[in-house]
Amino acid sequence: MSLTPRHLLGIIGDPVEHSLSPAMHQAAFKKLELPFSYSKIHLKNKELKIFFSTLVASNYLGFNVTIPHKEAVLDYIDEFSDEAKLVGAVNTVKISENKIVGYNTDGQGYIEALKREKRFVVKGKKALILGAGGAARGLIAALALNGIKEIKVCNRSFERAQSLCKEFSKKFVKIKIVAIEWQKNYLAKILPKIDLVIQSTSLGLKGEEIPHFPWDKLSSKCLVTDIIYSPTPFLAEAKKRKFKTQNGLGMLLYQGVLAFEIWTDKKAPILVMKKALKEALLHKLSKN
């Protein structure tokens, strides 16, 4: 049993230096006068086992998990939230009654950002996800849990998209979840009926373009989103073409809001967290 109060929080990853999460959580603790401290914890894969073995007896209340550990941590966790079970990955951990509990707030963070910042409700809509990696898993689960009608998944490796769609079709039998090949003519066929585009590949982080995207087929009412939070050529093109857009900063904010509420059982000071996140991003971009 831990003899000292749990006041430590943080984010584990490799690399982790780029993370903006400390800025938003520290600002929230300050606003609510909570005696917590949030730091970056650089952990290599081989260091996970020892880190987790010391947790219950430590001062940690919890932490976030980022690339590349979101799946690797599953081996060390005692209990999972329904979302974490569905997604098969964890981005938030809480040490609760001496148990290590895993959550996944990424996908719901994306949905909250759509709702609160764009007044966009996913129920009954049709979405296209570009990418079939870890982030796409969380997005599919959250869209399905929030009543989406149809999801198309388009990925460079078609087999990966197919296997993802097969897995989630079994979990959500009433929702059409279909893989499509990443070719201009296939995309052109489906785009007119799409209400929401979600760019979830890592393309754009270093200014890379999204290939073969037939913009002229997209309905003018479609909301175009990118989960990368720094500026990307994909969102720049969408803006140029006068589509409504949303970048990944909202997803980052609301996954953090949900994690904060899991750890503290208090309502997160969203505006304070948003301001801190924006400032941290501007600072980061000014250094690049």
Is residue 156 part of the contact set for ligand NDP (CB under 6 A)? yes
Among 88, 133, 231, 233, the residue binding ligand NDP under the rule CB under 6 A is 133
Supply 236's token pair: 């720049």
Rounded Cα gap, residues 264 and 166, in angstroms:
37
To ligand NDP, the closest distance from the beta carbon of 21 in angstroms equals: 9
Choices 78-86, 127-135, 163-171, 261-269; region in contact with ligand NDP by CB under 6 A: 127-135
Q: Nearer to ligand NDP by C-beta: 134 or 269?
A: 134
* Active-site entry in 31, 70, 240, 242: 70
Among 229, 234, 260, 263, the residue binding ligand NDP under the rule CB under 6 A is 229
Choices 27-35, 248-256, 270-278, 280-288; region in contact with ligand NDP by CB under 6 A: 248-256
To ligand NDP, the closest distance from the beta carbon of 7 in angstroms equals: 25
Among 92, 104, 105, 155, the residue binding ligand NDP under the rule CB under 6 A is 155
Cα end-to-end distance, the chain, whole Å: 45
Binding mask 18-57 vs ligand NDP (x if CB under 6 A, - otherwise)?
----------------------------------------
Binding mask 51-90 vs ligand NDP (x if CB under 6 A, - otherwise)?
----------------x-----------------------
To ligand NDP, the closest distance from the beta carbon of 256 in angstroms equals: 8
160-179 residues in contact with ligand NDP (CB under 6 A) are 160
Binding mask 197-226 vs ligand NDP (x if CB under 6 A, - otherwise)?
---xxxx-x---------------------
Q: What is the distance, to the nearest Å, from the Cα of residue 54 to the centroid of all Cα atoms in its chain? A: 27
To ligand NDP, the closest distance from the beta carbon of 158 in angstroms equals: 8
Rounded Cα gap, residues 267 and 50, in angstroms:
33
Beta bridge partners of 147: none
Give a three-class secondary structure readout of the chain: CCCCCCCEEEEEECCCCCCCHHHHHHHHHHHCCCCCEEEEEECCHHHHHHHHHCCCCCCECEEEECCCCCCHHHHHCCEECHHHHHHCCCCEEEEECCEEEEECCHHHHHHHHHHHHHCCCCCCCEEEEECCCHHHHHHHHHHHHCCCCEEEEEECCHHHHHHHHHHHHHHCCCCEEEEEECCHHHHHHHHHHCCEEEECCCCCCCCCCCCCCCHHHCCCCCEEEECCCCCCHHHHHHHHCCCEEECCHHHHHHHHHHHHHHHHCCCCCHHHHHHHHHHHHHHHHHHC
Q: Nearer to ligand NDP by C-beta: 55 or 273?
A: 273
Is residue 135 part of the contact set for ligand NDP (CB under 6 A)? yes
44 flagged as catalytic: no
The catalytic site residues sit at 70
The residues of the shown chain that bind ligand NDP, judged by CB under 6 A, are 67, 106, 131-136, 155-157, 160, 200-203, 205, 227-229, 248, 251-252, 255
